[in-house]
Amino acid sequence: MGCGLYLVVPCYNEEEVLPETTKRLNDKMERMCREGLIDDGRSKVLYVNDGSKDRTWELIQQIHRENPRFTGISLAHNMGHQNALLAGLMTAKDYADAVISMDADLQDDVEVLDEMIKKYMDGNDIVYGVRSSRKKDTFFKRFSAESFYRVMSAMGVKTVFNHADYRLTSKRVLESLKDFREVNLFLRGIFPLIGYTSDVVLYERNERFAGESKYPFKKMLAFAWDGITSFTVKPLKAISVIGILISFISLLFLLHFLLTKLLGYTVQGWTSVICSIWLVGGLQLFCLGIIGEYIGKIYGEVKQRPRYIIEENLLDAAEQEI
């Protein structure tokens, strides 16, 4: 018998893509049921409405009424992609053997879903969807994403290169994820930390089916920064190294000034004084800023606020009707 599979799909203002996504996922799920890969009665698509401002939630409710294979939860306001994903994963884990997360915009190739499930059945607890090429992304997106993965690995954070949030996770992986209580979520850094056996499935990343990216440059930068500061204190260590370097250089300057003084040259160095004041002042502010960022993170974490609030849950509603 096939496995109970839940597909978790976060949606923020996705009314333009949802009908097509629903059609393609329904076709694919039907085929996988026929092939015996998944168990029809226990497999569903769980849409997570992340406080959309358009008709996304109305659409999800309508799709659910027309086809019980599709269900949804709605968050009380927009909580961000990662939190929406977490809300979906935590909800789905109570119903499924395995959960696959994917974007709503059909950029993640639906056709490799069965490959993921087969790898899960072969005994892998995590199957990462990895983009084999980024030909269809803009040059800027490709460049920024690749530099990001490089910086992360240089900082010693373990991530899977070119993997975003298209992945299969087993129930027990999600049970472990529950214990990661961080508010600053960077899921693709957490899964490699959880461990268990994992494998990858390659796919071609498609263009967004319709609508615009919900990750403008500013959000992308914030996300990358979250990824670094939530997983490594290397920037703080770099500050100490910079501090030591500057102290050493100033020692050399001091020697130089002492020597010129002893040799009786008149004081000239106005330019060098002004330059060093600005340079060192700027560096100090930069370092303070990094320390401040970490303190801000700690502040956010100690409050232990909920990471998501579910306002409506069609799964619960369905159970109550029974």
CB of 214 to Mg ion, least distance (A): 7
Of 2, 4, 72, 80, the residue at the interface with ligand UDP (CB under 6 A) is 80
CA 126 – CA 157 distance, rounded (Å): 18
Evaluate whether 238 touches 283 at the Cβ level (below 8 Å). no
CA 10 – CA 79 distance, rounded (Å): 11
Evaluate whether 173 touches 93 at the Cβ level (below 8 Å). no
By residue count, the chain amounts to: 322
> Residue 253: which of 285, 284, 277, 286 has the closest Cα?
277
Of 14, 15, 97, 105, the residue at the interface with Mg ion (CB under 5 A) is 105
Residues 210-229 that bind ligand UDP (CB under 6 A): 213-215
Of 6, 46, 50, 149, the residue at the interface with ligand UDP (CB under 6 A) is 50
Of 15, 97, 105, 125, the residue at the interface with ligand UDP (CB under 6 A) is 105
73 binds, among Mg ion, ligand UDP, none (CB under 5 to 8 A by kind): none
DSSP state of 54: S
Residue keyed to tokens 């996705």: 14
CA 203 – CA 2 distance, rounded (Å): 23
64 binds, among Mg ion, ligand UDP, none (CB under 5 to 8 A by kind): none
14 binds, among ligand UDP, Mg ion, none (CB under 5 to 8 A by kind): ligand UDP
CB of 247 to ligand UDP, least distance (A): 42
Q: What is the H or E stretch that residue 73 is in?
A: strand 70-75
Q: Determine, following the binding rule CB under 6 A, whether residue 104 of this chain makes contact with ligand UDP.
A: yes
Evaluate whether 19 touches 59 at the Cβ level (below 8 Å). yes
CB closer to ligand UDP out of 74 and 124: 74
Of 6, 12, 47, 70, the residue at the interface with ligand UDP (CB under 6 A) is 12
User: With contacts defined by CB under 6 A, how many residues of the chain interact with ligand UDP?
Assistant: 16
Q: Name the β-bridge partners of 100.
A: 7, 168
**Token output for 243:** 């501090």
Contact region with ligand UDP (CB under 6 A), list: 78-86, 192-200, 228-236, 268-276: 78-86
Evaluate whether 114 touches 2 at the Cβ level (below 8 Å). no
Interface contacts to ligand UDP, rule CB under 6 A: 10-12, 14, 50, 78, 80-81, 84, 103-105, 107, 213-215
Interface contacts to Mg ion, rule CB under 5 A: 103, 105, 107
